[in-house]
Structures are given as structure tokens and as C-alpha cells.
Amino acid sequence: MKRKVLSVFLTAAMAVGMLAGCGSSASTASGSQSASTEAVTASSTETASVTSETSATAATGDTDPQMKKKIKILSIWAEDNDNGVLINQICNDYKKVNPNFDYEYEYVASDDLKQKIATLAASNDLPDVFVYESGKPIVDLINADQIVDISDVLKKYNCADYIEPSAESLLTTLSQTDDLYDLPLGLNIEGFWYNKALFQKAGVEVPSTWDEFDSALKKLKDAGIQPLACGGADKWGATRLINAYTVRTLGPDAMKKAADGDAKYTDAGYVAAAQKLQDWANAGYFGQGVTTVDMNTAGTMLMTGKAAMFYNGSWFTSNLNDTSANAAGADGIGFFNIPVQDESISGADSYSMNCGNILCLGKAKYDDATGWFVKYFVEHMGDTAMTVQGSVKGYTYTADTSKATGYTQLVLQEMAKAKSSFTWYEATMGSEVSTVAQENVQSLLNGDMSAQDYMKSIQDASDSQAE
């Protein structure tokens, strides 16, 4: 496994670049390489040399050679939903540029994505383009030499500048590689959404420190308002809260340290964060039966005034923009970044960020025709996403943002404040460890498991994985 110093911090320049839509690719990485990644790099250069022969004629300029190919795209969004709309639109637009191009769009439920990819990878039959998860899952595919080195592709087709440096940095951090192996399908910030009317009713100000946050919880509860909605049934909604507290008290690299063995998950600071979540649950801040509530219901509870706060990412704006679902109206919901404990450990300009699900290219099927498609995709994704959905996907864009809705503007403003970022709770965990962390968080919320035992179960899983 490749080790590199975690570059979770995005530089200020990157954050500016991300919004201004310029700025060169500046993936900084250092560290040592192990044998397995060397093997991957070696074989990927091989492919590169093979393809460069054939592309000698093609690469004369930026004009598409209109190569004939039908590519297969595996996605977790229906054609008329979310990223599914964008991918389909770009494919159809590309058909106009290259009439010989055709594509087949396949949809699987997101719960079944991993199973589908596992069965396809087992028979070396990964599709040309497929949606996958960043972090550990993709590392496995890289090590198995199943996916294409996208940095090579971007360089060859001269379109690397179209990827937001911040997105690139986030993705290479997650895949623990120098090169990019996946394309972003989102650039999201996370934090607390709150119901303004309920805050006003209880006389609560937007909290900026955890102490203020705690007293806000108490005040809301005393006013007869459920302070927090949380999708405990979807598990990650709860672990994000632990993560939020962990990062602010131990620093943005806390989870990485524990994953690398430089710290133990059972150390006091990690346990304290888990304890915090349990304390909130015990105080009834989440209402009853929080482990049976899914994220969607929790979100609706916020919008319909049944709960005052809800932790979620910027993708939540799509719900907020839906006037039939958002009872709070166009200005009823606000956003604040995760409260701070100590500015020197993790500051208020540091946000939890992710690139959502990502796109990978199956190596076995890759050829120049796919390369040209990728070039078109990368060059047009940013603008298409901004004009069609008013969303930021991790690509540069030139489209006008002034027509975006209030909630979209709100997210863009928050993103502009971001000077650095950190990842989610399970980002550095292998799938077994992450499953344990997610499943047992329900027991933690229920009180069936103490904070100490919860962190121990994660440490145990991590130890057994290392074996």
C-alpha cells in the first residue's frame, strides 16, 4: 500500500481556484511506494505506450477522430435522476460531435453497486465507465490493476486543467496515489442544516463552538423542540457526527492516524467523541428510535419543522429546492459549518468535503475511443452540471451562477469560505472496519454498547484486518 502524507488540507489557492474555475493541477504528494503500486504503475505505462502508437494519427490535434465504439456505462442513478441526467446529456451531446459513438446506460441500486462490481471484476468484465466509491474500495481495484490511470488519460488528451485541483487533491488523497484513478461526480461540503423558525422560537443563535452547540441543544429541547434529526437507519448519518467532533478535537488527520496505527481508536479522544454522540442520544436530543429513521425522513423532519438541526451534505439542496417537499420555504433553512473546539486544531474555515460517488474506467475495455469520450466528458461536465442543475461537480465551469436558487447560492458561498477540508469517518477504513463502525453505531445510539466498547470493536476489526 502506498503511503503518503495525508494532504487533506486544500490550500487557499486551491479553494479559490476551485471557484474561479482556473488554477493548474497541483497534486502534491510525497512518500514511498510499495511493490504492489509499482507493479500497477509499470503496467499502466505499458498500456500508455501501446495506445500512444495507435493514437499517433489521432493525437494530431484536439479534433475528435470520431472513432466507432459503443461504451457501456454502469451507474447508480436512473436516467432522469441526479447525475444520471448529466451523464446521459453529455453522452447525447457527444453523439453530435462523434456520430460513430454510442452508449449503453445501465442502472443498479446503490446498495447493490459493490456486489455488482465484485462479480464483474471477478470475471474481468468491468464496464468501460462505471460509478464506484472513493476511498478504500477504489484502492482495491487499483491494486488489482483493474482500472485506468486517469491522470495519464488527461495528460494525453490535454484536458487535465478541467478538473478542479481541490477535487483532484481530495480524490488522490482518498485513493492514496499520486495519480488520479477516478473522476469526481460531485464536490460537496457537509455541515449542519437548521430550521430558522425553530431556532428563533427557542431563542437560539447559530452555534460556532461545541459548547454553544451543546447549550443550543439543551435550549431547543427545553422549548419542546426535537433538537436533532439523524438518519440512524442509514448509519453513516450518525458516524458523521462522531467524525465532526473527533476532527474538531483531535485534528483533521485523526482518523488517518488511527487507521495507520499511529494512534488507537480506543484512545481517550476518540472515545470522547463517541461518548458525545451517546450523551446526545441519552438526553433524547434525537427523539425516540433514532436507529429506525432514514436520512430522507430525517431531512423531511427538518423541513417540516419536526426537528431543528440535521447534519448532511450539500447534495441536500436538491431536497431543499423541491418546493413540494420543503415546507420551510426558500429561506427557511440555514447552514452552519461544524462547530469548533480549538481553532489551532481545526479551524472554522475547514470543512468536511467529499466527491460523492466517482467514475472509474475499466482497464480491460479501455481504448482511444474511450479516451476521446473522457476528454469530452471532462471538458463539458462542469458547465452542464451548473446550467442543468446548478451544482458543482469538481470540474471547472464558465456558466453563470446568478440564476441558481438561494440554497445553491448558499452552498457556493460556504464553499468559498473553505480553506481546507477533511474526509468522513470511514474514509480511511477498510470495508470490514467501516462495516463494524457503521453497524455498531446503532448499538451506541441505543445504549446497548458503551462508547469504550464501540471504539474497541473498531480497533479489534482494524487489528484483525491488519493480520
Partner 1 sequence: MNALKAEKIAKGTLIRIFIFLLCIVEIYPIFWMITASLKQQSEWTLKPAYALNSGFYFKNYVDAWTRGNMAVFFKNSLINTFVALFFIVIFAVTVGFAVTKMQWQGRDAVARYFQLGIMVPVVTALIPLFQIYNKMHLINTRTSLILAYIAFGLSLSIYLITGYLRSLPDEIMEAAVIDGCGIYKLMWYVVIPLMKNGIITVLVLQFFFKWNDLIFSMTFISDSSLKTVQTGLLYFQDEFGGKNWGAIFASVTMSVLPLLVIYLILNKAIIEGMTAGAVKG
Partner 2 sequence: MKKVLGNKGAVAWFVLPALILYTAIVFVPIVWSFYYSLFSGSPGLKWKFCGMKNYFLLFKDKNFLDALIVNGKYIAIVMVGQVGLGLLLALMFMFWLKKCKSLVRTLVFFPVVLPTVAVGELFAKIYEIQPNYGLLNSVLDSLGFHNLVQAWLGQASTALGCLCFMDIWVAMGFYSVIFYGALLDIPYDIIEAAKIDGCSGFNLFRYVLSPLLKPITVVACVFSFSGTVKMFESATALTGGGPGNATKSLSMYMYEVAFSYNKVGYASVLALVIFLICIGGSSIIGLFDKSSKEDN
Residues found near partner 1 in the complex (CB under 8 A): 74, 76-78, 80-82, 104-112, 115-116, 119, 122-123, 125, 231, 233-234, 294-297, 299-301, 304, 306, 312-313, 315, 319, 324-325, 327, 356-357
Enumerate residues 6+ apart whose C-beta is below 8 A from 362. Answer: 126, 127, 128, 129, 130, 146, 147, 148
Measured from the CB of residue 438, what is the shortest distance to partner 2 in angstroms? Answer: 9
Sheet of strand 69-75, all strands in order from the earlier edge strand to the far edge: 101-107, 69-75, 129-133, 357-361, 183-184
Q: Which is nearer to partner 2, 205 or 439 (CB)?
A: 439
Kindly tell me which of 259 and 385 has the beta carbon lying closer to partner 1. 385
Q: What is the dihedral of CA 413, 416, 422, 427, to 10 degrees?
A: 70
What's the min distance (Å) between Cβ of 339 and partner 1?
Answer: 23
The residue among 260 and 322 lying less far from partner 1, judged by its C-beta, is: 322
Cα 97–Cα 103–Cα 107 angle in degrees, nearest 5: 135
User: Nearer Cβ to partner 1, position 292 or 452?
Assistant: 292
Query: Smallest gap, in angstroms, from Cβ of residue 79 to partner 1?
Result: 8
> Containing H/E element for 115?
helix 113-122
C-beta of 100 vs 292, nearer to partner 2: 292
Residue 443's binding partner out of partner 1, partner 2, none, with CB under 5 to 8 Å set by partner kind: partner 2
Nearest to 72 by CA among 373, 402, 276, 284: 373
> What residues are paired with 335 via a beta bridge?
193
Distance between CA 337 and CA 418 in Å, rounded? 10
Nearer to partner 1, 135 or 207 (CB): 135
Which CB sits closer to partner 1, 315 or 336? 315
Helix (H, G, I), strand (E, B) or coil at 145: coil
Q: Which does 325 bind (CB under 5 to 8 A by kind): partner 1, partner 2, none?
A: partner 1
**DSSP state string for 259-301:** HHTSS-TTSHHHHHHHHHHHHHHHTTTT-S-GGG--HHHHHHH
Residue 146 phi/psi, 5-degree rounding, is -100, -15
Residue 327: which of partner 2, partner 1, none does it interact with, CB under 5 to 8 A by kind?
partner 1
Minimum distance of partner 1 from residue 320's CB (angstroms): 13
- 338 CB-contact burial (10 Å; exposed 0-12 / middle 13-18 / buried 19+): buried
Residues making contact with partner 2 (CB under 8 A): 114-115, 118, 121-124, 140-141, 143-144, 146, 232-233, 235, 287-293, 297, 300-301, 306-307, 431-432, 435, 439-440, 442-443, 445-446, 448-449
Q: How far is the CB of 1 from partner 2 (least distance, A)?
A: 12
CB of 423 to partner 1, least distance (A): 16
Q: Which residues contact 57 (CB under 8 A, 6 or more apart)?
A: 65
